[in-house]
């Protein structure tokens, strides 16, 4: 996904969160007014959404319909992946085109947890994972990470600081699993190979690397048998190998998006949030390039906004989540093909500059009443 570890951390760190979160009821009229300020024609805008299929995404879809006067074209698949093979159909459905892409993550305000969402339609309104696709993809990686955290031990011996590594974690020929960057953990020889000082029945003992010793306080090293490395197994100490397909927009597309950054996801405070954030960033970078190269979008105005939907679990008396949108970036193109990319700060600034009043918004109840009272049309069969 990314070229180096530094690029990964820089990308994740560049995504500001709390300071730019916008309630959807304020975000959507601002998006509409932003499009109008770019010359998009009233009544000729075809919105599109690339959201996950969860019911929690229904509220944003309703607001898109309300403010744009049209139900949005479906441009996404489960997990918030953009179906780029739908670009041409989308382009044919409107004069001016808006695309909103968002991965999503649930949030329970009662316990401050990301990655869960209260499902009102379940028998006991239980909380389940959200996004289910993202959380499902994380399960294997989290188990691998937890195994490593518990099966790498640190202790202070009479002759220095030691690291005990389970034999499974030392098998570099595994087809998949959590793979250690041993030089970050243990001392290596002149050729970069770790040299065990003692072999046990299920593990090997090494002298700790100078970097590991320097990263821990003196009192964090216990005497033999020591303690598991736990939270001190940092993301720069390991990577993952996984046997997955690389078909574009296929079954494993989301997992491919996250694979290189997975050490940072599993070790973060809220893995589901970090994963959704990373997927949004990768999908924007991938999708805007496909828009540029799509013949059907030529000579069309296009506004593509990418971000993160945070679905705040509905409380008593609420039907929908109090969804917030956290913008990441935007791509803007005019009918002459002139285009530009807005980074997060500029996108947020441009959105905030727009009014939250939309004089063109649709009265959904009135529109439904008109359809209900319209004369019946008989189909010819």
Residue 246: per-residue pLDDT: 83
DSSP conformational letter for 3: S
pLDDT value of position 9: 52
Cis bond upstream, residue 102 (ω within 30): no
Number of H helices and E strands in the chain, helices first, is 12, 19
Residue from 23, 20, 28 nearest 45 by CA: 28
For residues 274 and 252, is the Cβ–Cβ distance under 8 A? Answer: no
Can you point out the beta strands (E) in the chain?
Answer: 22-23, 45-50, 73-74, 76-77, 81-82, 96-108, 113-114, 116-118, 127-129, 152-157, 160-166, 177-180, 198-199, 203-207, 227-228, 238-241, 301-312, 324-333, 339-342
d(CA 208, CA 187): 6
Going from the C-alpha of 133 to that of each of 157, 251, 257, 272, the distances in angstroms are 45, 11, 13, 10
3 or 361: which leads in pLDDT = 361
CA-based torsion, 366, 368, 371, 373: positive or negative: negative
- Residue 118's DSSP bridge partners are 127
Angle at 272 (CA atoms; ends 100, 343), nearest 5 degrees:
40
Q: What is the pLDDT of residue 10?
A: 60
3 state SS of 327: strand
Mean per-residue pLDDT for 125-132?
88
For 206-265, what is each residue's pLDDT tens digit?
Answer: 999 999 999 999 888 999 889 999 999 999 999 999 999 888 888 899 999 999 999 999
pTM: 0.91
């Amino acid at each position: 996904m990314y070229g180096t570890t530094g690029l990964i951390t820089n990308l994740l760190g560049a995504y500001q969160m709390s300071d730019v979160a916008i309630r959807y009821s304020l975000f959507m009229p601002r998006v509409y007014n932003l499009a109008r300020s770019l010359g998009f024609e009233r009544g000729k805008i075809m919105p599109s959404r690339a959201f996950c299929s969860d019911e929690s995404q229904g509220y944003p879809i309703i607001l898109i319909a309300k403010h744009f006067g049209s139900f949005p074209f479906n441009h996404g698949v489960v997990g918030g992946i953009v179906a780029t093979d739908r670009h041409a159909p989308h382009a044919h459905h409107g004069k001016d085109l808006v695309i909103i892409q968002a991965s999503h993550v649930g949030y329970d305000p009662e316990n401050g947890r990301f990655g869960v969402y209260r499902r009102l339609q379940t028998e006991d309104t239980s909380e389940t994972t959200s996004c289910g696709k993202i959380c499902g993809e994380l399960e294997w990686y989290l188990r691998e990470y937890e195994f490593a955290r518990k099966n790498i031990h640190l202790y202070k011996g009479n002759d220095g600081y030691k690291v005990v590594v389970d034999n499974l974690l030392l098998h570099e020929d595994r087809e998949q699993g959590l793979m250690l960057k041993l030089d970050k953990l243990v001392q290596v020889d002149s050729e970069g190979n770790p040299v065990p000082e003692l072999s046990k029945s299920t593990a090997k003992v090494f002298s700790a690397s100078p970097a590991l010793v320097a990263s821990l306080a003196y009192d964090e090293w216990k005497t033999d048998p020591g303690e598991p490395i736990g939270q001190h197994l940092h993301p720069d100490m390991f990577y993952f190998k996984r046997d997955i397909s690389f078909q574009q927009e296929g079954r494993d597309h989301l997992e491919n998006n996250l694979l290189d950054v997975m050490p940072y996801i599993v070790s973060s405070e809220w893995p589901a949030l970090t994963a959704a954030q990373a997927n949004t960033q990768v999908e924007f970078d991938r999708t805007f390039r496909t828009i540029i190269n799509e013949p059907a979008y030529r000579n069309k105005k296009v506004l593509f906004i990418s971000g993160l939907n945070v679905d705040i679990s509905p409380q008593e008396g609420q039907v929908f989540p109090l969804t917030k949108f956290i913008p990441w970036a935007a791509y803007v193109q005019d009918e002459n093909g002139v285009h530009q990319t807005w980074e997060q700060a500029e996108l947020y600034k441009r959105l905030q500059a727009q009014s939250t009043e939309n004089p063109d918004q649709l009265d959904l109840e009135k529109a439904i009443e008109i359809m209900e009272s319209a004369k019946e049309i008989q189909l010819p069969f």
